[in-house]
A and B are shown apart, each in its own frame.
Chain A
Amino acid sequence: MNWIRNIKSNMNSWAILSIVFIILILLPNLSIIFQFFSEPNENWAHIREYMLNTYIKNSLILVVAVGVLSAIVGSSLAWIISAYQFPLRNFFQWGLILPLAIPPYIGAYTYHGIINYTGVIQTTLRNQFGVTVDQQYFDIMNMPGTIFIFVIFLFPYVFTITKAFLARQSTSLIENARLLGSNPWKIYFKIVLPLARTSIVAGVSLVILEVLNDYGVVKYYGIQTFTTAIFQTWFGLGDLASAIKLSGTLMLIILGLLIAERVLRGRKRFSFTTTKVKLLKPVQLKGVSKWVAFSYATTVFAVAFIIPFIQLIYWATLTYEQFFSEDLLSVIGNTIMVALIAATLITIMAIVISNFSRLHRGLTAKLFPKVTILGYSIPGAVIAVGIVTLFIGIDKFMYQNTLVSSYVLSTSIFMLVFAYVVRYLAVAYNSIESGFERIGTSFTEASRILGQNITKSFFKVDLKLIRGAIFGGFILAFIDILKELPLTLILRPFNFETLATNAFQYASNEMIHEAAVPSILIIIISAIAIYFFHHVLERE
């Protein structure tokens, strides 16, 4: 009796849609998770003995170092920019998101290109000053170099999510702290960090997942990580089963960590629903501190964006001629179109699932959505296997039952779009969830008590209040898709090229000069999207 009532009253369209979405996301991942429980084959002993130990150690070092450093860089910049006024602050508000537009592996090639023997630094020293330097001081292809690359190109995840949180949330607390005479350091450590914990965790977990599923940077820099083990097993040993077993392990570990984080956080809520939601008014910095803040932001921006961007432009000037053709336009068109469609779908699904999750009591509703992260937690190539299996399975079924005359889904862009959704749902979800977290539930409750159902409440109230987070999630997903590689490579329909596949085509042949033009186009499109996003926020 009771449970029928409970289910009935909890089954609204949001719940049903969420469950459908989550099952869709789960399908391609299930085969991977199940592989974890499969019997190890004859290669497993070798993998354990020779790969896992050191590779896991490297992965751990990377994850911890990149996680901590990007948390520090991202949150400190978010704090400075939310709370203080200094030269170029308005530009940095969106400028500091730009590094996200550079695919890390392109960044890795670029920095190596700058620093290595034929790079601009050594060439200048050699040709202008006759100095030939000791290579060991000009080597970025090692663990610290890898950490550096990941931090500078991924910290904007933490920066964006934390900044969105700080700007709207903490006015009264921070103002009170200021009135009480706390200095900026104290406010940062005692108030900003604990308060923004959820946002920082959300950002850092995106960073960590990107690090864990990266194969481009670590392969080029010769750092062996868990991902290396997966691909060595698959490509080298030709043992896909064990590779998926490794991926399943990675997936379960990540899922476990996320659930632990969620359970530890428990019912603690950091949202404030006071009506006085007003923007934090930045304080004008004076004297030395003004220039300290300015130089800090500028340095990060230069290192993470300007320097690699200029290098890419220089390379592009060497090779641009071969790119001007009609093909380029259609490639740009493909790239933008597919990213827009997928990012829109992702945003809608993320909204539905996170709204469902926050409005329903019970641990299940809180934990269930964590599966959105699955597709983001392991290397794209492995996800691709799950997706190919699923889609070709459906196609085969339809074909054998003569519903269609040939494979439809797996030969169309549908499969690719679905793959993007599976992969990047987590990105939008994290942003939107933290937006919802910021406003809490009491506006929704007020609206419902005033006679609006959940859906109407969402459109009339919640949507307006978390517009920034929604756009933020959309833009992050959009940019990620623009630069996505392994899924696009393998799941695209015939003759479908994007800027990312174009760039990869050259980078994989060690033709970084030729890769510059498509890379720059990716960066420019992302930059426009980021600027547009900023502009929308600014108007609010």
Chain B
Amino acid sequence: MFVHIRDLQYRYSNSDHLTINKFNLTINKGEITTILGESGSGKSTLLRLIAGLEMPSKGNIMVGDDCMCSQSKFVQPERRGIGMVFQDYALFPHMTVSENIKFGLVKWSRKDKKARLQEVLELVNLEGYEKRYPYELSGGQQQRVALARALAPKPKLLLFDEPFSNLDADLQIKIREELRKILKTTGVTSIFVTHDQEDAQALADRIVILRGGEVSQNGTPEEIFGTDCDISDRIAVKPRVLSRT
């Protein structure tokens, strides 16, 4: 059990509605988990809670052996060792690709930084782009820089917030596959948030369906969508396996 979330609850200030309610989740090391939900289901909030960008009103979050958050403890995001790829990438516009990637390598030696830069650039297939500025890159390239930047400090856990929503359809499929390959190569545990079933199915080892801030289903893609129907059918198919939590 690498990630362990128990009874998580969250409420935006000046709202009386719980954005996240009694959320429980366990993830094994190296697993790719997708949280699937419609907009407003609380899935992005969930990701922000795990990253430490929001503070839950209740519940615990454990990553590895470390308690990130409990009733008496709250670890600031910069000390969690968790990586995140933002929906809009949030690449620093005033830095080059290499500066962006090296940004998170806080206490690394110059030499290690350089080596790691090359390593991740190779991983995302962007060698030679070091000197470019973000605005000089295409959407797909920007996304890969964002991935490289998140991977570079070797996070324990990697979070993706709607990673494909800014890309057009064919690129999306291509990058999706690439991404799964990269994640499996590095073996990093990761959580995706998406509203797109196709994404979820293509990427995930496990899918969690979120409705109104609560888990409505949790299982492997096969368990949830079945193995034999094609994607367009799946949307209509009633999931066969109910939540195990």
Chain A's closest residue to B73 (CB) is A5
Chain A's closest residue to B94 (CB) is A464
Q: Is the CB of B103 within 8 A of A447?
A: yes
- Chain A hits for B57, CB < 8 A: 2
Q: Is the CB of B77 within 8 A of A4?
A: no
Partner of B86, one of A2, A442, A451, A465: A442
Assuming the contacts A2-B57, A446-B84, A451-B153, asked whether A275 and B90 have C-beta atoms less than 8 A apart, the reply is yes
Q: Is the CB of B14 within 8 A of A451?
A: no
Q: Is the CB of A275 within 8 A of B13?
A: no
For chain A residues 53-106, which have a beta carbon within 8 Å of chain B?
none
Chain B's closest residue to A450 (CB) is B104
The CA of A248 and the CA of B55, in the complex, are separated in Å by: 38
- Chain A hits for B12, CB < 8 A: 361
Q: Is the CB of B51 within 8 A of A449?
A: yes
For chain A residues 320-377, which have a beta carbon within 8 Å of chain B?
361-363
The CA of A451 and the CA of B82, in the complex, are separated in Å by: 9
The CA of A313 and the CA of B71, in the complex, are separated in Å by: 69
- Chain B hits for A450, CB < 8 A: 78, 83, 103-104, 106, 149-150, 153
For chain A residues 447-493, which have a beta carbon within 8 Å of chain B?
447-453, 457, 460-461, 464-465
Q: Is the CB of B91 within 8 A of A275?
A: yes
Chain B's closest residue to A540 (CB) is B94
The CA of A277 and the CA of B133, in the complex, are separated in Å by: 11
Q: Answer whether residue A41 sits at the interface, using C-beta atoms and an 8 A cutoff.
A: no
- Chain A hits for B53, CB < 8 A: 445, 448-449
Q: Is the CB of A4 within 8 A of B149?
A: no
Partner of B104, one of A275, A277, A363, A451: A451
15 interchain pairs (CB within 8 A)? A2-B71, A6-B74, A9-B74, A274-B88, A275-B93, A276-B134, A278-B135, A361-B13, A363-B13, A442-B88, A445-B90, A449-B52, A449-B83, A450-B153, A452-B104
Q: Answer whether residue A443 sits at the interface, using C-beta atoms and an 8 A cutoff.
A: yes
- Chain B hits for A273, CB < 8 A: 86, 88, 90
- Chain B hits for A8, CB < 8 A: 74
Q: Is the CB of A9 within 8 A of B55?
A: yes
Chain B nearest CB, measured from A447 CB (Å): 7
Interface flags for B33-60 (1: CB within 8 Å of A; 0: not) read 0000000000000000001111101000
Q: What total count of A-B pairs have CB within 8 Å? A: 99
Interface flags for A1-40 (1: CB within 8 Å of B; 0: not) read 1101110110000000000000000000000000000000
Chain B nearest CB, measured from A19 CB (Å): 19
- Chain B hits for A5, CB < 8 A: 71-74
The CA of A467 and the CA of B182, in the complex, are separated in Å by: 37
- Chain A hits for B245, CB < 8 A: none
Chain A's closest residue to B88 (CB) is A273
Chain A's closest residue to B58 (CB) is A2
Identify the B interface with A (CB < 8 A).
12-14, 51-55, 57, 71-74, 76-84, 86, 88-94, 103-104, 106, 134-135, 142, 149-150, 153
The CA of A457 and the CA of B92, in the complex, are separated in Å by: 11
Identify the A interface with B (CB < 8 A).
1-2, 4-6, 8-9, 273-278, 361-363, 442-443, 445-453, 457, 460-461, 464-465
The CA of A124 and the CA of B112, in the complex, are separated in Å by: 79
Q: Is the CB of B51 within 8 A of A1?
A: no
Chain A nearest CB, measured from B214 CB (Å): 22
Partner of A452, one of B71, B73, B93, B106: B106
A-B contact sample (20 more), CB < 8 A, given A445-B77, A446-B86: A1-B71, A6-B55, A6-B74, A275-B134, A276-B135, A277-B135, A278-B135, A442-B88, A443-B92, A445-B53, A446-B84, A446-B91, A448-B77, A449-B84, A450-B78, A450-B83, A450-B103, A450-B149, A453-B78, A465-B93
Q: Is the CB of A275 within 8 A of B72?
A: no
The CA of A446 and the CA of B134, in the complex, are separated in Å by: 15
Q: Is the CB of A275 within 8 A of B78?
A: no
The CA of A362 and the CA of B94, in the complex, are separated in Å by: 30
User: Which of A5, A6, A275, A443 has the most CB atoms of chain B within a 10 A radius of its CB?
Assistant: A275
The CA of A451 and the CA of B78, in the complex, are separated in Å by: 4
Chain A nearest CB, measured from B58 CB (Å): 8
Chain A nearest CB, measured from B22 CB (Å): 17
Q: Which A-B residue pairs are the 10 nearest by beta carbons? A: A450-B104, A446-B90, A9-B74, A275-B134, A442-B90, A448-B77, A275-B91, A448-B78, A451-B106, A464-B94
Chain A nearest CB, measured from B52 CB (Å): 8
Chain B nearest CB, measured from A68 CB (Å): 31
The CA of A97 and the CA of B69, in the complex, are separated in Å by: 50
Chain A's closest residue to B15 (CB) is A267
Assuming the contacts A5-B73, A451-B104, asked whether A275 and B88 have C-beta atoms less than 8 A apart, the reply is yes
